[in-house]
Amino acid sequence: MPWCEDCSKFWTPTSMNRDGTCPTCGRQIGEPAKVPWHFKLLVIATVLYLGFRAWQGFVLAEEHGVLVYVLAALAVLGVGAWGLVRRRQRSGAA
């Protein structure tokens, strides 16, 4: 999404001038060079939340005595996913 440094504002392509300049200040608008801070915050919060939920799942599995089975299932899924990636790499698909 186009970003104007002077106005500190995102513009939609339809709201910009036809020559690609800012409608407010007239400066040439380009794509932002950095990822917005709120997107980084959202990613960090999502990773923390999912990590906490995974930890809760392991604690619950341990309380019920099925932690070994859960870990074995995760290992099988990991090996299966690794095999699919390797097969895709060998076949030359991108």
Checking if the pLDDT of 94 tops 70, the result is: no
Q: Whats the size of the chain, residue-wise?
A: 94
> Measured between alpha carbons, how far is 55 from 45 in angstroms, rounded to an integer?
15
- What is the pTM assigned to this prediction? 0.52
Tens of pLDDT, residue by residue over 51-77, are: 999 999 999 999 999 999 999 999 999
Domain ranges across the chain: 1-34
Tens of pLDDT, residue by residue over 39-53, are: 999 999 999 999 999
C-beta atoms surrounding 22 within 10 Å: 20
